Amino acid sequence: MDGLSYLQAVLALSFVLALIGALALVARRMGLGYAVPRRQGQNRRLAVVEVMPLDPKRRLVLVRRDGREHLLLLGLGGETVVESRDAEGTAGGDFSAALAAVEDKP
């Protein structure tokens, strides 16, 4: 191979690497690429329920922790808790009262 062939190969490799980097940036701005590691087992206390990108710099994250849900606004400027409430469908409470309420429905 002569010098021109080496230059052509290096330029082609640079182009492909730049293209991969650009696609990674686009995917990240669209909200993709935020993998959530999961711990195996039944006794997990923390779970990411849903993630919704608002724009390239901000996203809403719904987090469930110990029977409570927290809606977080994450951005470059910091984090804000938008809302916290008891999670729906969590274990607890009086089972017989819940069963009676379901049985009373037509």
Nearest to 92 by CA among 68, 76, 72, 71: 68
Could you give the CA distance from residue 8 to residue 16 in angstroms, rounded to a whole number? 12
Domain boundaries, given as residue ranges, for the chain? 1-35, 44-106
Q: What pLDDT, on the 0 to 100 scale, is given for residue 92?
A: 46
Query: Any bridge partners for residue 53, and if so which?
Result: 59
Could you give the CA distance from residue 60 to residue 86 in angstroms, rounded to a whole number? 18
Q: What pLDDT, on the 0 to 100 scale, is given for residue 29?
A: 77
CB neighbour class for 53 (10 Å; exposed up to 12, middle 13-18, buried from 19)? middle
Answer whether 70's CB lies under 8 Å from 84's CB.
yes
pLDDT averaged over consecutive 10-residue blocks of the chain (106 residues)? 89 97 86 64 80 88 90 89 78 56 59
Q: Report in angstroms the alpha-carbon separations of 51 from 1, 60, 86.
A: 51, 6, 19
Q: What pLDDT, on the 0 to 100 scale, is given for residue 3?
A: 84
